[in-house]
């Protein structure tokens, strides 16, 4: 499912037209991105939690040349699914 399909489904199940749903959809991800940029945790009940984590330095291997390369520490976004959603999936 892609962005346009999600917006179409939202439009179908609500009383909003496609353009309004598209605006809300885009705004939602802008807000999530802004909070993650500030390294704040975002908890969406019954869905999951987005959290910025710092990855440590590590040694990786180039799969083509098999040379060892150093991967510097960096920030990454971690998502942990809620127990409620996990139960629905299983």
Cα(35)–Cα(63) distance, integer angstroms: 35
> Domain residue spans in the chain?
1-38, 41-90
Cα(62)–Cα(65) distance, integer angstroms: 6
pLDDT tens-place string over residues 2-45: 999 999 999 999 989 999 999 999 999 999 999 999 999 999 99
Q: How confident is the model at residue 90 (pLDDT cuts 50, 70, 90)?
A: confident
pTM across the whole model: 0.78
- Tell which CATH classification among 3.90.1580.10, 2.40.37.10, 3.20.20.70, 4.10.520.10 matches the domain 41-90: 4.10.520.10
CB of 54 within 8 A of CB of 75? yes
Residue 68: left if φ>0, alpha if ψ -120 to 50, beta else—which one? Answer: beta
pLDDT tens-place string over residues 37-88: 999 999 999 999 999 999 999 999 999 999 999 999 999 999 999 999 999 9
């Amino acid at each position: 499912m892609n962005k346009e399909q999600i917006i179409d489904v939202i439009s179908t199940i609500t009383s909003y037209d496609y353009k309004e749903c598209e605006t809300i959809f885009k705004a939602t991800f802008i807000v999530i991105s802004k909070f993650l940029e500030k390294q704040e945790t975002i908890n969406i009940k019954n869905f999951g939690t987005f959290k910025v984590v710092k990855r440590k330095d590590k040694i990786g291997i180039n799969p083509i040349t098999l040379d060892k390369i150093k991967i510097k520490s960096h920030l990454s976004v971690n998502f942990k699914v809620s127990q409620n959603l996990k139960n629905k999936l299983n």
